[in-house]
Amino acid sequence: MGARQQLIYEVRIRPLVQANPFEMPEETITYFSNLKKAIETIHTALGAQRWPSTINYSGVYRNLKSRGKFRHVFVVEGVRYFELNICTRLLNPHLTTLGIDEMPAPRRK
């Protein structure tokens, strides 16, 4: 019996402003199995850092259904600070042959 496929949600935060010009800012990637929990966690993290929570569940859900992803850039006074991306990923996808054909049978001598 094969593994059951399941959709999970990838939440990616990409900093756009560099605090140190000699270091590349690192992305933060988190995975959730429930979109509502992902949105609640984002709201909590934004509130803890005093960012306005301008995203909502229905907007994210509609974008995921129509475009396959959700993207929002947080801007203050014309400066883009970070980008929030949410997309779906398939957990336990069906295995493929990767385009490899079956090995031919050896010739009999």
Angle at 82 between CA 62 and CA 48, to 5 degrees: 85
Sequence spans of domains, the chain: 6-91
Burial class (CB in 10 A: 0-12, 13-18, 19+), 108: exposed
pLDDT tens per residue across span 92-107: 877 777 778 788 888 8
| pTM: predicted TM-score of the whole model, two decimal places | 0.78
What is each CA distance from 97 to 1, 5, 100, 103, in whole angstroms? 18, 18, 6, 12
Please write the tens of the pLDDT for every residue from 46-90. Answer: 999 999 988 999 999 999 999 999 999 999 999 899 999 999 998
- Cβ pair 87, 68 in contact under 8 A: yes
